[in-house]
Structure 1
Amino acid sequence: MIAAPLAHRFTLAWGRSRVLSALAAGAASALAMAPTGALAWPVIFLTFPVLVWLIDGAGTGGRRGLLTAAVIGWWFGFGYFLAGLWWIGVAFLVDADKFAWLMPVAVAGLPAGLALFTAAGTALARALWVPGPARVLALAVGLTAAEWLRGHVLTGLPWNSFGYALASDLRLAQTASLGGLWSLTFLAVALGALPAVLADAPRDTRHPWRWVGLGALVLAAMFAFGAVRLASTPVGTVEGVRLRLMQPNLPQDLKFRYAAKDEVVAHYLKLSDLAANPPTGAPVTHLIWPESAFPFFLSREPAVLAKIADHLRPGTVLITGAARAEERPDKGPHRYDVYNSVQIVDSDGAIVTTADKVHLVPFGEYLPFQATLESLGLEQLTRVQGGFSAGTRRRALEVPGAPPTLPLICFEIVFPGAAAADLPQDFPRPGWMLNLTNDGWFGDTSGPHQHLAQARLRAIEEGMPVVRAANTGISGVIDPLGRMQVQLGLGREGIVDADLPRPLPPPLYARLADAVPFTLWFAALGIVILSRRVREPASTAKL
Structure 2
Amino acid sequence: MALSSAIIVPLSQANEIWWYGNPALGLIAYVPLYIATISSKSLRESAGLGALFGAVSTILSYFWLANFGEFSLWTIGGVTVVYTTYNGVLNTVLGLVLKTFLKQRPLIFGIFWTGYELVKSIGFLGFPWGLAAYPFSDFLPLVQIADITGVYGISFIVLYLNAFIAEVLMLCFRNRVHPTPITYKILVLHLVFITGLLTIYIIYGYNRLAYNAEITNELDVLMVQQNSDAWVADNQNETLSLLQRLTQENTAQNNPDLVVWSESSLRNPYQDTWVTYYDTNPTGYPFNSFLSDIDVPLLTGAPYTKNNKSYNSTILFDRKGNPVDHYSKQQLVPFAERVPFWNLQIVRDFYKDVLGLVAIWSPGDRQTVFQVEGKNGPVRFATPICFEDSFSGITQIFSKQNVDLFINLTNDAWSKTNSAQLQHFISSKFRTIETRTTMIRSTNAGVTGVIDPWGKTLVTLPMFTAQALRTTVPIYNWRNSPTIYTQIGNSFGWLLVGIALILLAFSLLPQHLCRGFYKRITDRHNMATP
Shift of 1:297: 1.7
- Equivalent position of 1:416 in the other structure: 392
One-letter amino acid of the structure 2 residue matched with residue 515 of structure 1: S
Whether 1:248 aligns to 2:220 is no
Aligned residue runs from structure 1 range 108-127, under 5 A: 108-127=77-96
- 2:194 alignment partner, one of 173, 190, 215: 215
Q: 1:359 to 1:350 in 2, by over 3 A?
A: same
Whether 1:227 aligns to 2:201 is no
Measured in 2, the distance between the counterparts of 1:477 and 1:325 equals 30
Partner SS state of residue 145, structure 1 = helix
Q: 1:184 to 1:117 in 2, by over 3 A?
A: farther
Shift of 1:395: 3.1
Shift of 1:527: 8.7
Measured in 2, the distance between the counterparts of 1:28 and 1:172 equals 22
Q: CA RMSD in A?
A: 3.1
Whether 1:194 aligns to 2:182 is no
Q: Answer whether contact 1:163 1:182 (CA < 8 A) is retained.
A: yes
Q: Answer whether contact 2:310 2:360 (CA < 8 A) is retained.
A: yes
Partner SS state of residue 24, structure 1 = helix
Whether 1:158 aligns to 2:125 is no
Q: Answer whether contact 2:382 2:398 (CA < 8 A) is retained.
A: no
Whether 1:263 aligns to 2:238 is yes
Q: Answer whether contact 1:114 1:150 (CA < 8 A) is retained.
A: no
Q: Answer whether contact 1:237 1:500 (CA < 8 A) is retained.
A: no
One-letter amino acid of the structure 2 residue matched with residue 117 of structure 1: Y
- Equivalent position of 1:30 in the other structure: 10
Q: Answer whether contact 2:146 2:430 (CA < 8 A) is retained.
A: yes
- Equivalent position of 1:7 in the other structure: none
Q: Answer whether contact 2:218 2:475 (CA < 8 A) is retained.
A: no
Shift of 1:386: 2.9
Whether 1:67 aligns to 2:40 is no
Measured in 2, the distance between the counterparts of 1:291 and 1:471 equals 7
Whether 1:106 aligns to 2:75 is yes
Q: Answer whether contact 1:133 1:194 (CA < 8 A) is retained.
A: no
One-letter amino acid of the structure 1 residue matched with residue 429 of structure 2: R
Q: Answer whether contact 1:121 1:144 (CA < 8 A) is retained.
A: no
Q: Answer whether contact 2:51 2:85 (CA < 8 A) is retained.
A: yes
Shift of 1:276: 6.1
- Equivalent position of 1:140 in the other structure: 110
- 1:482 alignment partner, one of 455, 458, 467: 455
Out of 359-368 and 211-220, give the one that drifted further: 211-220
Q: Answer whether contact 1:269 1:311 (CA < 8 A) is retained.
A: no
Measured in 2, the distance between the counterparts of 1:123 and 1:377 equals 34
Q: Answer whether contact 2:217 2:475 (CA < 8 A) is retained.
A: no
Measured in 2, the distance between the counterparts of 1:514 and 1:339 equals 28
Measured in 1, the distance between the counterparts of 2:66 and 2:199 equals 39
- Equivalent position of 2:515 in the other structure: none
Aligned residue runs from structure 1 range 7-406, under 5 A: 21-35=1-15, 36=18, 38=20, 40-59=22-41, 65-92=42-69, 99=70, 103-130=72-99, 132-198=102-168, 199-200=170-171, 201=179, 203-207=181-185, 210=188, 211-212=190-191, 214-216=193-195, 218-230=197-209, 232-239=210-217, 241-252=219-230, 254=232, 256-257=233-234, 260-273=235-248, 277-278=252-253, 283-299=255-271, 300-302=274-276, 303=279, 304=286, 306-313=288-295, 316-326=296-306, 328=307, 336-370=308-342, 371-376=345-350, 378=352, 385-399=358-372, 401=374, 402-406=378-382
One-letter amino acid of the structure 2 residue matched with residue 66 of structure 1: L
List gaps (5 residues or longer) in structure 1: 1-20, 60-64, 93-98, 329-335, 534-543
Length-normalised TM-score, structure 2? 0.82
Whether 1:506 aligns to 2:482 is yes
Measured in 2, the distance between the counterparts of 1:355 and 1:318 equals 14
One-letter amino acid of the structure 2 residue matched with residue 378 of structure 1: K
**Percent of counterpart pairs with the same letter?**
21
Partner SS state of residue 421, structure 1 = helix
List gaps (5 residues or longer) in structure 2: 172-178, 280-285, 510-530
Shift of 1:502: 2.1
Measured in 2, the distance between the counterparts of 1:403 and 1:84 equals 38
Shift of 1:195: 1.0
Q: Answer whether contact 1:34 1:446 (CA < 8 A) is retained.
A: yes
Shift of 1:525: 7.5
Q: Answer whether contact 2:19 2:418 (CA < 8 A) is retained.
A: no
One-letter amino acid of the structure 2 residue matched with residue 30 of structure 1: P
One-letter amino acid of the structure 1 residue matched with residue 95 of structure 2: R
Q: 1:203 to 1:320 in 2, by over 3 A?
A: closer
Shift of 1:478: 0.9
